Structures are given as structure tokens and as C-alpha cells.
Amino acid sequence: MNSAQADAYLRRIGAQHPAWPTSDVLRELQLRHLLTVPFENLSIHLGEEIVLEEKRLLDKVVDARRGGFCYELNGVFGALLASLGFDVTYLAARVYGDEGELGIPYDHLALRVRTVDGGDWLTDVGFGAHSHYPLSFMERGEQRDPAGMFRVVESGPDAAGVRGVGGSREREDLDVYLGDKRQYRLEVRPRVLGDFAVGAWWQSTSPLSHFTRSLVCSRVTKDGGRITLSGRNFTVSTADGTKEVSELATDEEVLATYRERFGIELDRVPEVKGAQ
């Protein structure tokens, strides 16, 4: 990403070009991203191709002022952070289902970001309702965030760690919790964006993927709550957990909500294939 592209991206999220890649700057950039760039899967239901290439992601998120799902949002945000001097690693994760089952390999893309002031952070702008600020990658206790209480803990048979080259200790998997609920299992092995192409294809085409079976467009609000448009149901959630749901009666109302509440201009209402 060149400097002009980075500056355009920063304008998209309402941020200034930082002097240094510090932990405070990372916190601000993550929150601004969540406030301005929606988590959405509309491309799947509009027949738009999803391509995990930096230029294509910039075209969508910055130029077209759209959002995306994890591979797109964390993929392009990671590229922005790297261009600003952060040390960025792409990480693969598997999302926990309602019954505690793990999803497919490359189910989710998250970021490990190191800063010049010694910070080591789990950064994620592509998981829907998740932490507003980066989580400490090495902290194993509770981490308070406006979205709730998070924990990052060792998991699985390798939770005690294994010996790597030269006797160094390596940890293979981490579980990320929100409250008592496991969100996803994270691998610490570095990946590249292209590694996630198969996962993105599966998520956008398989009838078993929840992304092909539902519509979602969601973002954090300035008061710490969240707004979400799922099909024709518009939900306003406050920071204290209360929700107000309204049903949009017409296509015009749906398109206006995408435009006015999420900054997304559409020429037609996306619909789930096979939906009645």
C-alpha cells in the first residue's frame, strides 16, 4: 500500500496519519475502523466476487466505502497497519459454534500487531460484535473492554507449550473468550493473505455457511452500542445491552438505512437466495 492509498484509507475512517506506530495509535485506529467500516456480507447476496488481493480490497472498502467480512476487513486493515510501520502478522482461527464445536480451518482471519513501544496485540476489526480495542496478546487474565470482559488463554493439547528449535517454547493455539463463551481458537503460526482464499470461498458459497444463509450489516456506534441490519430487521443495541428492533416495510426503507446508517449506497436490496 503506497502513501496515497494509506492516506485515503485514513480519511475513510476519520483518522490522521500517525507519527509513530504506537499502542495508543493502534487503539484509536481499531475503534475508528469499527465506527466507520461495517461488518457485512452483502457481496455474497449481490453476486459480487470476493477477491483477497490488496488492490481489490482497497477498491471496495476505501473507494466504494463498503465493508466486508473478516478476510476482507482484517486483510486490508493489516495492510494499512503495515504501511504505517506496525509489525503485522496474519493469523488463522476457527470459530466456536453454539454447541462448542470448532469451524473449518481458516474460518477466521485475525491480526497480531506489535508496536514500537513494546505492545503485542490481538487486533480484530472483522468478527462482528467483538472487542472495541486491541487485546493484549500475552496477557492471560481478564481484559476489560467496552464490549465486555475478554480473555486470551492457552488451549488444546498443546496448552502447556511445546519445545521448538533450540529448546524455545512455542504455543500453538489460543482461545479467545468473551465472558464465559469461547469466541474462536487462534493459531500463532504466521500466515499470508492468500492462505485464506479457500476459507473465503467456502464461507461465501457453501450452504453450510451462515454467511450464505443470512444477511448482516453491522457497526459500532459512538455511544458504545451497535446497529445491525439483518434483512429487513434493524436493531439498535445500547452499551448496557438493551435492544430495540424494528422491521423495515419497503425496499426504499432498507436502501435508505444502508445509506444513512452505514454509508453504503446500493441500487437494489440484497436478498438471501431461496429465502421466502
- C-alpha–C-alpha distance, residues 142 and 153, integer Å: 10
Is pLDDT above 90 for 113?
yes
> Nearest-CA neighbor of 256 among 244, 269, 243, 247?
269
pLDDT of 192 reads 97
* Per-residue pLDDT tens over the stretch 176-222: 999 999 999 999 999 999 999 999 999 999 999 999 999 999 999 99
- pLDDT (average), residues 104-121: 97
pLDDT of 157 reads 57
> Nearest-CA neighbor of 29 among 81, 88, 90, 82?
81
- 3-state SS of 108-135 is EEEEEEECCCCCEEEECCCCCCCCCCCE
pLDDT of 162 reads 37
* Per-residue pLDDT tens over the stretch 131-186: 999 999 999 999 999 999 999 999 865 443 333 333 333 457 999 999 999 999 99
Domain parsing of the chain, residue ranges = 3-262
pLDDT of 168 reads 37
- pLDDT (average), residues 4-16: 97
pLDDT of 98 reads 87
- pLDDT (average), residues 262-272: 95
For domain 3-262, the CATH class is: alpha beta
> Residue 79: how many CB atoms within 10 A of its CB?
21
* Per-residue pLDDT tens over the stretch 83-106: 999 999 999 999 999 888 999 999
Q: Which amino acid is at 63?
A: D
* Per-residue pLDDT tens over the stretch 26-67: 999 999 999 999 999 999 999 999 999 999 999 999 999 999
The mean pLDDT of the chain is 92
Percentage of the chain modeled with pLDDT above 70 = 93
